[in-house]
Chain A
Amino acid sequence: MAKPPLLEVKNLRVEFPTRHGTLVAIDDLSLHIDPGEVLGVVGESGAGKSLTGAAIIGLLEPPGRIAGGEILFGGRRIDKLPDAEMRRIRGRHIGAIFQDPLTSLNPLHTVGRQITDTIAAHLPLTPRQARARALELLGEVGIPAAAERIDHYPHQFSGGMRQRVVIALALCADPKLIIADEPTTALDVSIQAQIIVLLKRLCSQHGSAIMLITHDMGVIAETADRVAVMYAGRIGEVGPVSEIIHKARLPYTIGLMGSIPSIGEEVERLVQIDGSMPRLNETPPGCRYHPRCPNAFERCRTERPDLMPAGPSRVACWLYDSPAEAPAARPIPAAARATGGHRARGAAAAATLIEAKGLKQYFDVSPPLLTRILERTGRRIVRAVDGLDISIAHGETFGLVGESGCGKSTVARTVVGLFDATAGTIDYDGVSLSTREERARNRSVQQKMQMIFQDPQASLNPRWRVFDIVAESIPEARRTKAGGFKERVGELLRQVGMSPLDGDKYPHEFSGGQRQRISIARALGGEPEFLVCDEPTSALDVSVQAQILNLMVDLQRNLGLTYLFISHDLAVVHHISTKVGVMYLGRIVEWAETRRLFTRPLHPYTRMLLDAVPDISKTGTQRAQVEGEVPSPIDPPGGCHFHPRCPFANARCRGESPENIMVEGTSVACHAVQEGRLPAWKTG
């Protein structure tokens, strides 16, 4: 070897001693990063990605400890260094960026002080020089008016801006390696795109290598040079990014890739990996993936595979072992995705099931009366939903997308009646359910709407048995033994792919995906026609997300359900929806049939979102950078809400709010479209 790698991890083992025995979180893991390289580390939650990062920078939380192996940085062993020396390496030679920009800055110090302090700790600079360098860094990471903002406190910055400051902080001593642990996960898609572009550009300018830890294959696809796929504390496959994305060899990677919905293709069902990652205390012998692996054979069950070469990649899988084992006898797996006709897409127009008109939901967040009088401030109203029209036909899936704070969840909650709408009407199958009185009068109609929630941790009462949770939405009249009450709950559990025996357990005994299934079973208990799904898969891993999305598709077909599907993930919405509405600051700016919206978007905001999405089909491509962030719904910009971020805005956009107009089957609210000022959308 000519040049030693920048970072080399050899046979790393991380353990957590507990009173039930020692849990091995990372087992015999080896990897290396070359100077200036971007290594993506992907895996589902619990795979040990973050722990690997923490072990490298010496920030393992006790009682976790490195129990074996070595970590070499620039040829020097750093895993056994005393704290004081490790501190000199951290920040100076290895920088770190963490997930949550809200908590990784000290709220009591100005950002300038935090950066100059870090510089002073690592570089021999005078305070004046340090400040100059801090200013330069803030400019580099794209903070506008850096000279002024350097003396601001973190709370005066938005989430995206804060993450930029964190990047500046990580870069301030020109480290050779940056460990970025989910740097974009807490951000909106449009911001995410900005940060990825920034991170990539800065690191190539500074010649820093990055270890990019994320669960998002889209981010990896665009950013990384090489990818390591982790599963249950071990690396399953490592290789160049295009190999991993397009020619994955490990059955797990193949399944994972197939389970990610992509905007680039339409599929009936996603590839589904059954089961979930084993918990640390029940890792199976042999290959850890074998219980879920469709290609597993005898050897996988007993013998643990180590990384072995397979093409340009290296794979820990017995399928790729020496030819003496006659691999031809075993099929090398291929991605099996059922492509073809998309369900219900372009189907004949069905009758309208639910229709909301002019829906408004305002929240009063005013300070108390006395404060208002003393400080001479007026009321503060959040216009979460501000004049929204929506109509969903029988059997349709209406996808609602938008960035956080645009009012998607409020729409969901207002539609099912958790909030009383400030204004507007909601008609369900011809029955008006606009007010609380109307809903109370039409209980049986109201019952036909049920809801699935985002967070499977919070949506199930932790003190209830699963049986009681599922039984909750079954109407009182059916809660008799004669009515087959107990059997009904069992049937509901079976419908979502669980066993009736699970009814005796408590929610904490289940994984996130299973809990989401229970949540769906509960919603089905009310025999609904219409399900409102508020980000039902965003808290789940991709392979589990695929299971839930497939389940929802099956249920829709079998029970004739209609969905309102809310998500910030364009690829998921693209996969499941028949119609899509794009929301921005409380209004739907564009809606159309799914294929139409994704191939011929009209509204500048929709185009911006489509540009921003990290998608595995964009491996190695450059992205268009998106400017600006979502403004506050308390004080939205006048005229068209989107005008401050819109490249096509003119005086009319600033002053006049656009109406929805129909253009070739797309409903869009944009002056530029109406006036024909908008350039055509790039195709292909």
Chain B
Amino acid sequence: MSQSAPIADSLDTAGLARRAWNSDLAYSFRRSKVTVVAGVITLIYMLSALFAPWVAPHDPYDLASVSIMDSFLPPAWIEGGDSRFLLGTDNVGRDVLSTIIHGSRISLGVGFASVFIAASLGVTLGLISGYVGGRLDAVIMRIAEVQLSFPDILIALLIDGVIRSILGPGAHGNIAFVVVIAAISLAYWVQFARTVRATTMVEKGKDYVQAARVAGKGTFYIMFKHLLPNVMGPVLVIATISLALAIVTEATLSFLGVGVPPTQPSLGTLIRVGNDFLFSGEWWITLFPGVALAIMGLSVNLLGDWLRDALNPKLR
């Protein structure tokens, strides 16, 4: 048996990094080329979203720097393009590349926030449903099933509409973000709840839970201390896949005009705006945000697929 130093006293970071690199998860990541590419792309998106003001060549929201004279410039490599605007400019002369970078910041932000809320809600309800069982379980699961029988986007639209009509037509600005995030999270909690419930029901039969009961531990202690860490594997997978879905859902809502406010456009908003100019020949205004969204969704989704395969012991 190898001797190990007390954990709290010395955390060997180099050793930890080596262990992480050698872990089965990292190994399966390295082995799959597609996943590595998807991972790198996702990382680029996240970094550029995080540091958008420094990464973007222009500030598309600084009215002083935007000139109407530069509007409708095609991408730089096409005749008539301007080398200052790599992917061209839109109808008010904003740099398309910069709007994409700022737009993906909003898309990712909304995506992460809604997945986090959906996961917290779903995991809690799933744990309660699976561990307590009985009528509570029946009620929660019937709600989930009713919701599952409608398309997610419809649910999101419905919730969005309901919240907006409650808040009144003046609800703009930051409150609009909250509304969108709430709508998307309420549309996506079901997957979390159902999966966590199923895993909980398997885990609660195991003897370590019985042992905790014999030791006199309470329901909530067992649920959150014992069961929660053991149901997090599948949650991580669903969270990653849901992230891709949430981003696309937000884009759809924004495309339909009920998403984030137009003053802070997300990728969906950009696509909608550009759509108006598609038939007059200014295709780049809508194409590039569309491509950016597609690549982002695809990369995150591929990561989710890999995580699902890597964490599923049956497929190993």
Contacts and interface: CB of A to CB of B under 8 A. Distances in A.
Do the two chains bind?
yes
Nearest to A454: B207
Q: Which secondary structure characterizes the binding site on chain A?
A: loop
23 contacts: A19-B27, A418-B210, A418-B213, A446-B216, A450-B215, A451-B214, A453-B207, A454-B207, A459-B211, A461-B208, A461-B229, A463-B229, A472-B215, A473-B211, A473-B214, A473-B215, A499-B1, A501-B3, A504-B4, A504-B6, A504-B7, A522-B215, A526-B215
Given A461-B230, A463-B229, 18 more contacts: A416-B214, A443-B216, A449-B214, A453-B210, A455-B207, A458-B207, A458-B208, A459-B206, A459-B207, A464-B226, A472-B212, A473-B214, A501-B4, A502-B1, A504-B6, A504-B7, A505-B4, A522-B215
Interface string B194-212: 0000000000001110111
A271 interface: no
Interface in B161-216: 206-208, 210-216
B211 A522 contact: yes
B217 interface: yes
Q: Which secondary structure characterizes the binding site on chain B?
A: helix
Among the interface residues B3, B6, B208, B230, which one has the most CB atoms of the partner chain A within 10 A? B208
A458 B210 CA distance: 10
A450 B4 contact: no
Among the interface residues A19, A451, A472, which one has the most CB atoms of the partner chain B within 10 A? A472
B172 to A, nearest CB: 45
Interface string A409-425: 00001001110000000
A418 B214 contact: yes
A447 interface: yes
A684 B68 CA distance: 109
A458 B230 CA distance: 12
A669 B89 CA distance: 94
Given A19-B27, A461-B208, A519-B211, A472 B217 contact: yes
Contact of B226 (A461, A473, A519, A525): A461
Contacts of B215: 450, 472-473, 522, 525-526
Interface residues of A, number: 34
Interface of A: 19, 413, 416-418, 443, 446-447, 449-451, 453-455, 458-464, 469, 472-473, 499, 501-502, 504-505, 519, 522-523, 525-526
Nearest to A450: B214
Contacts of B3: 501
Contacts of B230: 461-463
Contacts, number: 62
Interface in B21-70: 27
A502 B7 CA distance: 11
Contacts of B206: 458-459
A458 B206 CA distance: 5
A453 B214 CA distance: 11
Contacts of A505: 4
A463 B226 CA distance: 8
A423 B3 CA distance: 51
Contacts of B4: 501, 504-505
A290 B216 CA distance: 44
Contacts of B207: 453-455, 458-459
A668 B8 CA distance: 58
A541 B95 CA distance: 71
Nearest to B206: A458
Contacts of A461: 208, 226, 229-230
Contacts of B214: 416-418, 449-451, 473
Contacts of A413: 210
